[in-house]
Structure formats: structure tokens, C-alpha cells
Chains A and B, each alone.
Chain A
Amino acid sequence: MSDVFRKEVRFSGSGGQGLILDGIVLARAGVLDKFKVTQTQSYGPESRGGSSRADTIISEGDIFYPEAQNIDILIALTQTACDKFIYEMKEDGVLIVDNNLVKNISVSIGKIYEEPFTEITLEKLGTELPTNIVVLSFMVKITKLVTEKSLEQAICDSVKPMHKELNIKAMNLGFEIAKKYL
């Protein structure tokens, strides 16, 4: 609507993939970078196994409507989520998918990044649990939406101390995967 910096990010997939945590971590990092931030998410049965989504809006101006309407950055970790939300994206938006889980991308979008995030995470870290942080960190490295320092701080603030080390490794793995695109 105007020239003020404003980005709408949607994390989507199925319940249990840690997408809502991604939304919260990104929002925390946005606060650390002194942006205005809102974070909303789907509640109800879908957050316990069905399709799940989390929206984070990061802006220099006031954010009135708190849900993403013209998505700048979409992260889709299931085919259903990708099919459903791709139509809510801006034409020049950034789409990030796990290409083992999302096979068809039905619309052409500004930038598409396809990586087997879940597989790489399992291979490098021995567990696929922190795939959400790998994808989030990949996105931050590519888009520079928030600073890496704030992202790291936000991850540390959001996960239990015992999981900190694994998640920082996941962050670095995300940065690593992004390197070939920079």
C-alpha cells in the first residue's frame, strides 16, 4: 500500500513440523531488530496433525490487519499447503519448498527455492526434528529479512536450553544450504 518496508511471511505444512515455532522465532528476531511485528497462527484440530500455518508480519510501519494477505515469503512443507497458499502470494514473492514433499508448483512465482530440507537435516544432524529451523535459517540467509545475530538470539530464547545446541547446528546448516544461491 506504500513504500514502507513490510514483509508478510507464511509458514505452512502439517501439524508437528514446527512451523508455529518458526513463526514465533522469526517474530522474536524481528523485535530484536526493532521492527513492528505481529504473529498469528491457525488453531484447532488442524494444529494437531492436519494442515497448519503461522503468519509473521515484519514492518517498519504500523501493522493493522495481523494475518498475511499478500504473502511475500511462503514456506510450504506439504503439497496441500503449497497448493492452498500459493494463490495468496505476491507475483514477485519468494517460495521455499521441500522438494521431496512438494512435487508440483502450479503457478509461476518470482523466486522458487527447492531443496530436500528434511532429508538433508536427517542426514547431517541425525534427526529430522529441527528441519523447521533449517528452513527458517535458509530463508533468513536468502532474504536477509532479519539479521543472523537476531535470528540466533531468537532461537536461543525460544527453545529449551537442552535443545539449544542442536538448533544452532540446524541454523548453521540452513545458512550452508543457502550459500550456493548467494
Chain B
Amino acid sequence: MTKEKKEQVVKKEKKEQAVENLQEEEVILEDNRKVVLMQGNEAVARGALAAGLDFYAGYPITPSTEIAEILSEELPKIGGKFIQMEDEIASICAIIGASLAGAKAMTATSGPGFSLMQEGIGFAKATETPCVVVDVQRGGVSTGLPTKPSQGDIMQSKWGSHGDNPAIVLYPHTVKECYELAIRAINLSEKYRTCVTLLLDEVLGHMREAVRLPDISNVRIINRLRPTVPPEWYKHYDENQKYLSPVASYGEGYRFHVTGLAHDSQGFPTNKANEVAAQMKRLKRKITHNIRDLVQIESYMMEDANIAIFAVGICARSAKAAIKAAREDGIQVGLLRPITIWPFPDDAVRKMLRDVDIIIVPELNEGQLITELHRLTKDKADGKIIPIQRSDGEMITPTHILRVIKEAH
């Protein structure tokens, strides 16, 4: 065995052991899966580790700080790297660099830092460099409300970076889902060679919940495709039929150029229309040709519903509580919850718009998700879509949603 291989084996063993060590306060159930009390932010960190995270660079910010805190302890144990950077711009650049060198890399932040990272996020997308940005949203514009919930970054997570860039954004609503979607975010970033965003609500990041974690050996891990050709044949942007191409790491003998400028298949700047068009087409089609793989939705009690609630994150939890109460009064109401918010689940939403009479859209902002519903329907003025919007740092309660359901019924 070569020295390098030995190191890899040792690293792998260390990693497996570290993952086992994580389960400290566990309760073993009859079916051998473990229940733990865990915070949403902690679940994100643990999920990322389970997905094979090697590298984290970040600048701590409430309400995301626990993610950095936990990874600063756990990453060194498995031979990974944790760096606290001087700011968020440096953080996003550091994870892009680490990823180009072959690491699975992530950073976490909140709104103000997410704004600073937008240029880097665009660069990661243009250069097709896998990485994950977690945005635990806080209230308000600018530095706003550090400790209060908001869903104000829904549109920023799609349009924050300039140019027509592809967006994959996942949105959990339970602590368990934080764990699962952290794994999925890293998997998707590796598979599609792009920057994937995980959006959390402040409440979810900070709340603790009893979670039954999946058996670590059953977790599906996706690693980026590696080149199989000799270095002299390698093209850094070489697409197969699904617009996903192998990627070499720096230091392996493969030569490629990385630039945010429009580039050809070797990565060198170009302004030839056909080469630029090929890049833009690839960026677009990696999303549009893989919608089925990317889009996930939860349909809750929608089978017989004539009123639907369309919500994400913590608002979906309030909605479920309201639905339970409304159903006890015989009101046929259900919930459609996008788990992937970008790309937007157009087909499922069109079906909902066809199937129900009323759609209630509770969101902790001044109307972001709702504009997508308006995009997909012609009759937005007829009162079919009812907004519930709140941006004062407080949550939308089940009672509030229930009242609107009863008024609409």
C-alpha cells in the first residue's frame, strides 16, 4: 500500500469513528435506530459530517453560530479543516478554493453575510465548483433582528447573484430534515457541480427536537465524478448527456483554468458567441433537465382538500397544526410544502392551483413565495390566493392560520 493510500484509509477509519462518537446521548429503540435531542444547527453540522464534509470556512453570525462552533470541534478530529475567516467574502472564497482542491466544503451564515457572499456564490456557480452555503435567516433588512425569525431571503437565494445563474435551494422544517437536507445539499452540490444553498428559519436553527437519525451506514453519499481520461485529454467542462461533467482537483496533474469570465471547455476566457452559449446552456440545463431529481415536495392531507396552504419551514409547521384543528371541524384543508424551493415546483403548484378553491400563503416576509404563485396563475386578482405576511420578527401562529382558514371556508 502506498503512503497516500494508507493515509486515506486512516482518514476514513477516523471519520467512521468520529461519526460513532457523535451519538452520545442516544436512546436505542427496538429497531436499533437512535433518538437524540438535537438543535437544528447541530443537525446541519452533523448531517454535513455524515455527507463527508472535509472543510469549513466561516465567519460566525447569529443565528448560525452553532454550526461553526460544532464543526470547529468535530472537523479536526477526522482530519478535516476548520478556518475562521476575517469575513464572509473570504469565507466563500476559501470554500471555493478548498473545493477546487478536492474537498467537500461548506460555510454557514445569516442574511448580512449571505449578501456579502453573493459574488462568490456566482463565481462558484459559473466555475461549476461544488460547495454548500447555509443561510440561517434572521429578521429585518440589513443587520435587522439577529435573534428573530424571518423568511426574507427566499428571493435572494434565487436572485442574489447577478446574471442568469442556476439555483438549487433546500428548505427544511424539522430538525431531522435539517440533518437529511444537509446531506442532500452536499450530495447535490457534488453531483451537479454547483453552489447549493440550505435555507433555515432562525427558530429551526435554535430549537431542539427529539430526532430519530437514519442509520449512518444507510446514508447515500454522492461524490463528484472524477476524470477517467489521461491529463492531456482532460476538459474541465466536458458534459455528458445530463450536463454533468467529471471534475479534476488541483494537484492531481490535470491542468485547467478557472475564471469567472465566460469560458470555453478548458476554462479559458472567451467571448465567442457559440462557446459562451454552450456555457450558459449547460448552466441552465443542469437544472431544467434534472427537475425530477431536484424537486422535492411534501403533500400533507391534500387528497380531498379544497383549501390548500402553501408554506415552507416554520410556517409549514404552524400550517400543519392549523390543519389538524380545522380537520376536526370538518374543513377539508391540506398543505403543499416545497422542500426544494429553487427550482420552484411549477408542476405541483399548477396542479394545486387547478385542484383547490382557495390557497393560503403564510410567510415571514412581505410576499416572496406568493409571487411565484402569481406567476403561475392568470387569476391572481380574484381572491383565490390569500396572503398571511409577517415581518416583525414574530411567528405566524396556528391560531392565526386557523382563523384565515375559517374565514375563507
Contacts and interface: CB of A to CB of B under 8 A. Distances in A.
A34 B399 CA distance: 28
A66 B203 contact: yes
Interface in B380-405: 395, 397-399
Interface stretch (B219-227, B234-242, B317-325, B362-370): B317-325
A157 B63 contact: no
Nearest to B318: A65
A157 B325 CA distance: 36
B208 A69 contact: no
Nearest to A58: B210
A1 B328 contact: yes
Nearest to B395: A67
B37 A66 contact: no
Nearest to A54: B208
Nearest to A67: B395
B324 A64 contact: yes
Contacts of B155: none
30 contacts: A1-B321, A2-B324, A24-B208, A27-B37, A34-B29, A34-B35, A36-B210, A37-B209, A37-B210, A38-B207, A38-B210, A39-B37, A39-B209, A41-B206, A43-B62, A43-B63, A43-B206, A44-B148, A63-B209, A64-B317, A64-B318, A65-B318, A65-B321, A65-B395, A65-B397, A67-B203, A69-B397, A69-B399, A157-B24, A157-B25
A40 interface: yes
Interface string A32-60: 10111111110110000000000000000
B398 A65 contact: yes
B36 interface: yes
B210 A30 contact: yes
B208 A27 contact: yes
Nearest to B316: A64
A28 interface: yes
A177 interface: no
Contacts of B203: 40, 66-67
Nearest to A66: B207
Nearest to B24: A157
A144 B193 CA distance: 53
Given A37-B210, A65-B397, A157-B24, 16 more contacts: A1-B325, A2-B324, A24-B37, A28-B25, A32-B27, A34-B27, A34-B35, A35-B210, A37-B37, A38-B210, A39-B37, A62-B320, A64-B317, A64-B321, A66-B207, A66-B209
B269 to A, nearest CB: 47
Contacts of B320: 62, 64
A22 to B, nearest CB: 13
Interface string B86-112: 000000000000000000000000000
A62 B148 CA distance: 24
Nearest to B145: A44
B146 interface: yes
B235 to A, nearest CB: 49
A28 B211 CA distance: 11
Most chain A Cβ neighbours within 10 Å, of B29, B206, B209: B209
B397 to A, nearest CB: 7
A118 B208 CA distance: 28
A-B CB proximity, top 3 nearest: A44-B147, A43-B147, A64-B321
A34 B321 CA distance: 21
A31 interface: yes
A66 B321 CA distance: 10
Contacts of B207: 38-40, 66
Interface in B146-188: 146-148
Contacts of A24: 37, 208
Interface string A1-28: 1100000000000000000000010011
Contacts of B209: 37-39, 63, 66
Contact of A28 (B37, B317, B325): B37
A31 B207 CA distance: 15
Nearest to A41: B206
Interface in B201-218: 203, 206-210
Contacts of A41: 206
A161 B314 CA distance: 36
Interface in B299-325: 314, 317-318, 320-321, 324-325
A154 to B, nearest CB: 9
